[in-house]
Chain A
Amino acid sequence: MFRWFKKTQSPDKLKNLPELIKNLKESGDFFHFESKQHGSSFFLYYFKTLVHETPLNEHILRFLSQEPITSLKDIKDKVPITGIIITEDLKIICEKVMTGYVIVRLNENSVECALIPCQVKKARQVSQPEVEFTVVGSKEAFVESLDTNIHLVRKRLPVHELKAYELTLGKLTNTKVVVMYLEGIANEENVNTVKQRLEDIHVDQVVDSSVIMQLISDNRNSPFPQLVDTERPDRVVSVLCEGKVVILSDGSPQALIGPTTLVEFFSAFEDYFVNWIVASTARLIRFFAILFSILVTPVYVATLTYHYELIPSDLLSTLVSSRQRIPLPPILEALFLELAIELLREAGARLPTKVGQTMGIVGGIVIGTASVEAGLTSNVLLIIVALSALASFTTPVYRMSNTIRLTRFPFLIFAHLWGLLGITLCFSFLIVHLLKLKSLGRPFLEPIYPLRVKDLKDAIIRLPLRFQSTRPVQLQTEDTKRFNIKIHKDKNDFHE
């Protein structure tokens, strides 16, 4: 597909350095500079857009023009910059010049050159997390620069056990990817799985960590994400301490966390910042919201199509009178509204923020009320669909909320075809699928199945921190104990 690119750029085809330079000169931002002083001469070649001007002028040019240079080794000794390479290897030269190194040659036809690192590091400032915002807790989020991201993690975890295994992915993008884990805590098998899967990736471009996520997932045909992505460095640190493996990719503000479980997608990081009772309540509400979001519209369709007996007598008049004028069967009515909501969401996501808000109002109020007044949908269903859409957004991980909205549609169709029996059938399909899923080879539905009572401390509810003294069994960590609990008996301060 990209053969045209290979023809011109590939250093294999170019025989020597002068030919490479000739080739590179075809780009407008490739600069060359010659100097002949003190009887010695040197030639500089670099990409203007990749090189930082200040060190180039202040360090490189100053030192090179001050003293006579006779050999490339002189440059290495005199220029006060670390990481200078002297080489003849065209492949390395080509690779380095493309990442912001300056080529220095002493005469125009030599094949050997010195490479001086002088990259420009332009990156967004570390800013507030936008997807996983929490009211309390750190307000730092990852940015697009890998070095900054690693810095954000390292400064929170200043131990030598924190390893960052680096590799380059993507034939064209040459993206730097880093696997981070705590040695002696993370299970080596997990680390190796991640490393091996990353090494097996052979694609031309890795522009974001989500690409990596799709490529290394255990089941690529599942709508369920099998790795958690986060933009919070504190969350990354917290899971590193649990013994998980984290993948950071250059150019992506999202870190990937694995192995993970289904329940982790429903735990917000804020759950650890608030009291355990509050956190557990929030989690229970979220689980309820998920079930509600998936099941309530299908149940509406099923009962109205097949099981009129199930509707309480008091609700009957409301339901019947709201559906009195509607020409569509319940399934079309429901699909129409669900589709409307999906359209609104998609349109809102594609539009700029300010226009997006107007979209929400236009969609919510105008379309909703108008369709009820026009007799296309019943107002009861409008409430149900709006609520279930709202409920699907309570999921803390954005990817999961997409999946949940998607899951509703097969349920709807089964509900229309077979009623409640169909919903049960579809639910069992879903459960079987979830049971078969794995995250980096570890069961996805743990601790519910396989049942691991020890891991229930931080699953559907979050127990107090003193119960969290062991690392998750699922990870099979090398060091299972996090800390020793000492429970102090409170002295009674009240003198009775």
Chain B
Amino acid sequence: MIRSLLILLCILLLTGCVQKKILDDIQMVTIIGYDVPDEDKDGGLIKGIAVAPQYQPDGKVDNTVFIESAELSKEIRSQYNSGSSKPIVSGKLEVALFSREIAEKDGVIELVDTLQRDPSIGSRVFLGVANGEIEEMLSTNYGNVDTGTYFNDILTHNSKHGMLPQTNLHSFLYSYFSEGSDPFLPLLEMDDETVKIIGIALLNGDKMVGELDADSLFTFKILYEKFSSNDSFSVKLGPDKYASIYNIASKRKIDYKRAGNGKILITGNILGVIKEYSGNKLSPEALKEIKETMEKDIEERGTKMIKTFQELRIDPLSLGNVVRSRTRGEFDRDKWIDEYKDMDISFDMNVKITESGIIE
């Protein structure tokens, strides 16, 4: 009896140690952006822009923007607090953006590290690189929606159904720390009153070294992962003659051993449906032409892309991981990078058109 009373007493006394965060008494930051501060205006090394939504009782959402500069990113947080009516918390963070300048010059790992170290931040937070003025991008109101959710929605649906490969904090850290791959991040740009994904930023370690434009995303996705999407791919068959392929499902296969020593063969398999054809009649010959043109087109683009990667000495396709997992013994990263840049990597594409409409 006495023992159970003591336990109860401990429970009651210990509750004083728990910190309460009542939902309507906190400021939840949903998106955060990092930029290099202007040297003459504000001091410090990093400028942080945080946006917190204010939900009004009538259903409206206002966004409060906090802009501060400091030496360390966590110092910025305490500066935000001095300008906020409620304590700022980071548990609902959905997107973290880095300006191109930071990504190219300073590298992003220090900033990502603070995100990763905060237990209240989930590992599914989106990371991205902002092309252009990040302060303006985050200060804009995108309709009656909180800015973080707006960015999150753009990135989510594009990586689920569109051509953007899956990226988030977890996958970034995985590629960054694993020996045989380099990370990449979505590249966003403000276009009038909306935000667009204009491609992906290629990173070597934590520094941005190159980019791929939106047109190359399809090829990159085929090379990078298995996917199925609702987006279309158009094949140019000749002047004024196009075909459009929808409902694409793709699988990639990497042959390392069978292709011979020091050689890698990437095979992509695509299933697709023809929805639009600008020619007269979709005859079996025409189908074959579409298929072959598409195969050739993607193969060309893919091979070119791989060449670029080799020149930049980066491995966003994580071929190194494939090699590491299929060879015995210790994996030597330096040796791999050395070999990688002149490796014979070939790309083979197979297209299968499953449907071409019901009228023959």
Contact = CB atoms under 8 A, between A and B. Distances in A.
Interface of A: 303-306, 308-309, 311, 313, 316-317, 319-326, 329-330, 417-419, 425
Top 3 nearest A-B pairs (CB, nearest first) are A309-B91, A320-B55, A417-B15
A303 B92 CA distance: 13
B74 to A, nearest CB: 18
B20 A306 contact: yes
Given A317-B61, A320-B55, A418 B15 contact: yes
A305 B18 CA distance: 11
A321 B55 CA distance: 5
B171 interface: no
A316 B20 contact: no
29 contacts: A303-B23, A304-B23, A305-B20, A305-B21, A306-B18, A306-B21, A308-B21, A308-B26, A308-B28, A308-B91, A309-B120, A313-B30, A313-B94, A313-B148, A313-B152, A316-B55, A316-B92, A317-B53, A317-B59, A317-B61, A320-B55, A321-B56, A323-B24, A324-B55, A324-B56, A325-B57, A329-B20, A417-B15, A419-B18
Given A303-B23, A330-B22, A418-B11, 4 more contacts: A309-B122, A321-B57, A417-B15, A418-B18
A68 to B, nearest CB: 75
A305 B61 CA distance: 22
Nearest to A314: B149
A309 B12 CA distance: 25
B59 A321 contact: yes
A324 B57 contact: yes
A317 B63 CA distance: 12
A308 B152 CA distance: 18
B343 interface: no
B23 A308 contact: yes
Contacts of A419: 18
Nearest to B94: A313
A380 to B, nearest CB: 11
B89 interface: yes
Given A323-B23, A418-B18, A309 B55 contact: no
Given A308-B91, A317-B61, A324-B57, A417 B12 contact: yes
B252 to A, nearest CB: 33
A317 B53 CA distance: 9
Contacts of A311: 23
Contacts of A305: 20-23
A301 to B, nearest CB: 10
A308 B88 CA distance: 12
A256 B149 CA distance: 58
Nearest to A309: B91
A309 B92 contact: yes
B118 to A, nearest CB: 11
Nearest to A417: B15
B57 to A, nearest CB: 5
Interface string B9-39: 0011001001011111010101000000000
Contacts of B18: 306, 417-419
A427 B28 CA distance: 30
A264 to B, nearest CB: 30
A94 B12 CA distance: 60
A326 B22 CA distance: 12
Contacts of A306: 18, 20-21
A453 B152 CA distance: 48
A379 to B, nearest CB: 11
Contact of A317 (B21, B26, B55): B55
Nearest to A419: B18
Contacts of B152: 313
B313 to A, nearest CB: 39
A320 B27 CA distance: 11
A313 B61 CA distance: 13
Contacts of A324: 24, 55-57
B11 A417 contact: yes
Contacts of B89: 308
A313 B92 contact: yes
Interface string B95-123: 00000000000000000000000001010
Contacts of A319: 23
A317 B28 CA distance: 11
Interface string B120-131: 101000000000
Contacts of B11: 417-418, 425
Nearest to B144: A317
Contacts of A330: 22-23
Nearest to B93: A309
A376 to B, nearest CB: 14
Contacts of B24: 320, 323-324, 326
A322 B58 CA distance: 9
Interface string B35-68: 0000000000000000001011111010000000
